[in-house]
Amino acid sequence: VALDRHHIVAAGLVILRDHGLAGLSMRRLAAELNVAPGALYWHIASKQQLLVALAEAILTVPAPGAEEPSDIRLAAHWLRSALLSVRDGADVVSFAYALEPERLPAITRLRDIFAARLPEQQAEWAAQALTHFVLGAVAKQQNQAELVRASIVPNAVDEQTVLAGFEFGVEAILAGVGRVARHRA
Amino acid sequence: VALDRHHIVAAGLVILRDHGLAGLSMRRLAAELNVAPGALYWHIASKQQLLVALAEAILTVPAPGAEEPSDIRLAAHWLRSALLSVRDGADVVSFAYALEPERLPAITRLRDIFAARLPEQQAEWAAQALTHFVLGAVAKQQNQAELVRASIVPNAVDEQTVLAGFEFGVEAILAGVGRVARHRA
DNA sequence: ACCTGAACACCGTTCAAGT
DNA sequence: ACCTGAACACCGTTCAAGT
């Protein structure tokens, strides 16, 4: 059973799914792979790099259409659903985004899409605003879910309302970026 | 030297300032207070609750004017500067915000300000969008600073540009919230 | 009421030594 | 080349026992 980087990441995703980010340790991961903890370090440099690799994996789901979306609304929704596909996905990706933002194409793509109709600097700022919103919104939703799971908080929030709030935020940022950019041009 | 909650929080802020969030452990905190680790647990329930208390402390700086700002732009800038006043401040507050959002008046106030001119649900969504942006933007800036400090990354980012990006985001969100809300009314 | 001592059940990471 | 064994230097938290 050859232990390689790909196997490690796959096992990490399973732990994330079953136990969340708090339950993901290098030692548990090694145990899951029937291997000594030190063995992991032959294939990956550190836990931080493992999390970056996990983030890349989370964001590597095929887009709903055949191609990657060139529409910002689509890209934002696609990013959201990718984050929601794994427990604590937003926290994992936020961590990776803080460490190595350029290694996450699903996020750098937002900047590229804005760059088609905005000057470079503004495209970057617009993409960052949208990124912060999406990561924060999904992280809040998933953290809430964790609190419910741990029965620290009783009431689960209505999925419809959460989605409506997400769309409100995306629409506001897109409309606002358009206005501010126009105002500066 | 009476050890109470207030002393513990104060010492925690010092550790944050000197060693960052990664350097803040209950054991180090206890050592700094010349006390056994277990002693802390008489005064605070857990490390999570310590972080919530630290977040409250970070956000309890006197506003520049005599009163708390009722203008959203002011409130956003004031929040940003409070977060920047302590190393890793945004990460600490983000954690507390995830755990107990209602315990952070500096953030719930944003919702109240929006509520003066928007229906309740939209005020909440608008406040959350702005909150996610501010927390994300400052976290990104501070994490970058940590990477520079650890010389993982060489170039410090220009403070002026970062501020301009922050203002771009705030203006975009405010303008966009106004437009989307008007559109729905 | 408040704190210590000591333990419990963990961590991430390194590295000689084995195969 | 790849992995084990064993250690190093830590964690958060609990709780009997002391004062």
pLDDT at A13: 98
Q: Which of A163, A180, A184 would best serve as a mutation to test chain B binding (most B beta carbons within 10 A)? A: A180
Nucleotides in chain C near protein beta carbons (<7 Å):
2-7, 10-16
Encode pLDDT of A21-50 as tens digits.
Answer: 999 999 999 999 999 999 999 999 999 999
Chain B CB contacts of A118 under 8 Å are none
Pair of tokens at residue A174: 């897109």
pLDDT at A157: 87
Chain A CB contacts of B169 under 8 Å are 125, 128-129, 132
Q: Is the CB of B35 under 7 A from strand C?
A: yes
Is B79 at the interface with chain A, CB within 8 A?
Answer: no
User: Rounded to 5 degrees, what are φ and ψ at B32?
Assistant: -60, -30
Encode pLDDT of A59-95 as tens digits.
Answer: 997 666 656 778 999 999 999 999 999 999 999 999 9
Is B172 within 8 Å of A136 when comparing Cβ atoms?
A: no
Is B129 within 8 Å of A179 when comparing Cβ atoms?
A: no
The single residue listed with the structure tokens 């926290």 is A91
Q: pTM of the prediction?
A: 0.96
Taking residues B80-103, what's their average pLDDT?
98
Chain B CB contacts of A136 under 8 Å are 128, 131-133, 135-136
Encode pLDDT of A141-179 as tens digits.
Answer: 999 999 999 988 888 889 999 999 999 999 999 999 999
Q: Is the CB of A37 under 7 A from strand D?
A: yes
pLDDT at B70: 87
- pLDDT bracket for residue A185 (50, 70, 90): confident
User: Rounded to 5 degrees, what are φ and ψ at A150?
Assistant: -85, 10
What separation in angstroms does the CA of B8 have from each of B2, B60, B69?
A: 11, 16, 30
Q: Is the CB of B46 under 7 A from strand D?
A: yes
Chain A CB contacts of B168 under 8 Å are 122, 125-126, 129, 180
Q: Residue type for B22, please?
A: A
B110 to chain A nearest CA, in Å?
A: 15
Pair of tokens at residue A100: 């190595």
The answer to whether B16 touches B93, Cβ cutoff 8 Å, is no
Q: What is the rounded CA–CA span in Å between residue A33 and residue A40? A: 10
Q: Residue type for B61, please?
A: V
Pair of tokens at residue B3: 């050890």
Inter-axis angle of helices A120-149 and B120-149, to 10 degrees?
A: 110
